Amino acid sequence: MEYRRLGNSGLQVSEVGLGSWVTFGKQVDLGAAKQIMTKAYDAGINFFDNAEGYEAGESERLMGQAIDELGWSRDSYVVSSKVFWGGEKPTQRGLSRKHVFDACHAALKRLRVDYLDLYYCHRPDIDTPIYETVRAMHDLVSQGKVMYWGTSEWSAQQITEAWAVAKAENLHAPVMEQPQYNMLIRDKVEAEYLPLYSLTGLGTTIFSPLASGLLTGKYLKGIPEDSRLSLPGYEWLRDMLMGENNKLEQIAQLNQLAASLGMPLHHLALNWCLRTPHVSSVILGVSKLEQLDDNLQALTLKGQIGNEIWQQVDEILGNKPAGPERF
């Protein structure tokens, strides 16, 4: 396991982290969670990602109980939460000062910790002034309840505004962003955020590196019964990924390319993400211990895949963002 700085901060996070979306509290119970987290921790993973919106807080409760029972030293791991989707009432969602504080305190209780290492604004809130959110996050950092704060799926403009407000008011600025990033979805990390890496020192902890399983190739012959696309409540995800604009033909070509290299497609896809210099950590989502073992095997291939292979990937997908235009 290698470790990377979280943007310009001094925090070192493992190059792969363990996420809990869809899995903890949905596909994974306490016993399995402890097994998976122990395997991850022993392999050198120190970043464990969560959110108030994951299974209505149950994911955080499960992770918090697992950490508590495993007895890890608090200074040996990094745990995150995200604020936005806390409930249906107006005061239970969004990024108002009230909800940011309520959600943080609730996450601390569920995760059984005194502070959050990372706290993300899970989505932008157009109904709350960015200054109000920045001020709330600053106060949580100043109170020692949060170490670093950032955003998830914000636009470059929104991140720039938050950063500028923080700098103008001498407040703690956002240091990380959590976007979706994989072979199929790459514009934000590679193009939209490009000016922010030098301007703000932005780091990224990317989610869905395997496009919710599409980049494993397992959906080429249909949807397996035990996959996340078959879960009740996730029909929207199935429709989004498997609709009429699906990428199955291109994924089949990527699968053939990976096979020609003697590796499974998901190992190629994970290394594709890891090769990106602005990625601080790649978040893995697993529901079984053997899936984690398999994904960790991808790390043994780092540096062994040449640029000519990545060029072939670009040719198959045809989605490489254009660089800044020079006139």
Q: What's the predicted TM-score (pTM) here?
A: 0.92
Sorting pLDDT into bands at 50, 70 and 90, what band is 221? confident
Helix (H, G, I), strand (E, B) or coil at 90: helix
Q: Is the per-residue pLDDT at 238 higher than 90?
A: no
- How open is the CA angle 113-124-122, to the nearest 5 degrees? 30
Is residue 247 a part of any domain in this protein?
no
**Mean pLDDT across 284-310:** 95
- CA–CA distance, 114 with 107 (Å, rounded to integer): 10
Question: What confidence score (pLDDT) does residue 236 get?
Answer: 60
In this structure, is the dihedral angle defined by the CA atoms of residues 149, 155, 159 and 162, taken in order, positive or negative? Answer: negative
Is residue 36 a part of any domain in this protein?
yes
Is residue 318 a part of any domain in this protein?
no
Question: What confidence score (pLDDT) does residue 321 get?
Answer: 95
Question: What confidence score (pLDDT) does residue 70 get?
Answer: 98
Q: Which two tokens stand for residue 233?
A: 């409540």
Q: Is the per-residue pLDDT at 280 higher than 70?
A: yes
Question: What confidence score (pLDDT) does residue 232 get?
Answer: 74
Q: Is the per-residue pLDDT at 240 higher than 70?
A: no
Question: What confidence score (pLDDT) does residue 244 get?
Answer: 59
Is residue 311 a part of any domain in this protein?
no
DSSP 27-42: TB-HHHHHHHHHHHHH
Quick check: is 193 catalytic?
no
Q: Is the per-residue pLDDT at 265 higher than 80?
A: yes
CA-based R_g, the chain, Å = 19
Beta-bridge partners for 206 = 282
Residue 280's CATH number: 3.20.20.100
Is residue 221 a part of any domain in this protein?
no
Residue-wise pLDDT tens digits, 14-66: 999 999 998 999 899 999 999 999 999 999 999 999 999 999 999 999 999 99
* DSSP designation for 227: S
Domain span at residue 273 reads 3-216+269-306
Residue-wise pLDDT tens digits, 145-160: 999 999 999 999 999 9
Question: What confidence score (pLDDT) does residue 86 get?
Answer: 97
Smallest CA-to-CA distance from 276 within 318, 238, 313, 223 is with 313
**Mean pLDDT across 252-266:** 96
Sorting pLDDT into bands at 50, 70 and 90, what band is 233? confident
Question: Pick the catalytic residue: 41, 54, 148, 181?
Answer: 54
Is residue 231 a part of any domain in this protein?
no
Long-range contacts of 129-132 (CB under 8 A, 24+ apart): 130/158, 130/161, 130/162, 130/165, 131/165, 131/169, 132/95, 132/96, 132/97
Mean pLDDT (the chain, rounded)? 94
Is residue 235 a part of any domain in this protein?
no
Question: Structurally, how many domains does the chain consist of?
Answer: 1
Is residue 144 a part of any domain in this protein?
yes
Residue-wise pLDDT tens digits, 80-101: 999 999 999 999 999 999 999 9
Q: Is the per-residue pLDDT at 239 higher than 90?
A: no
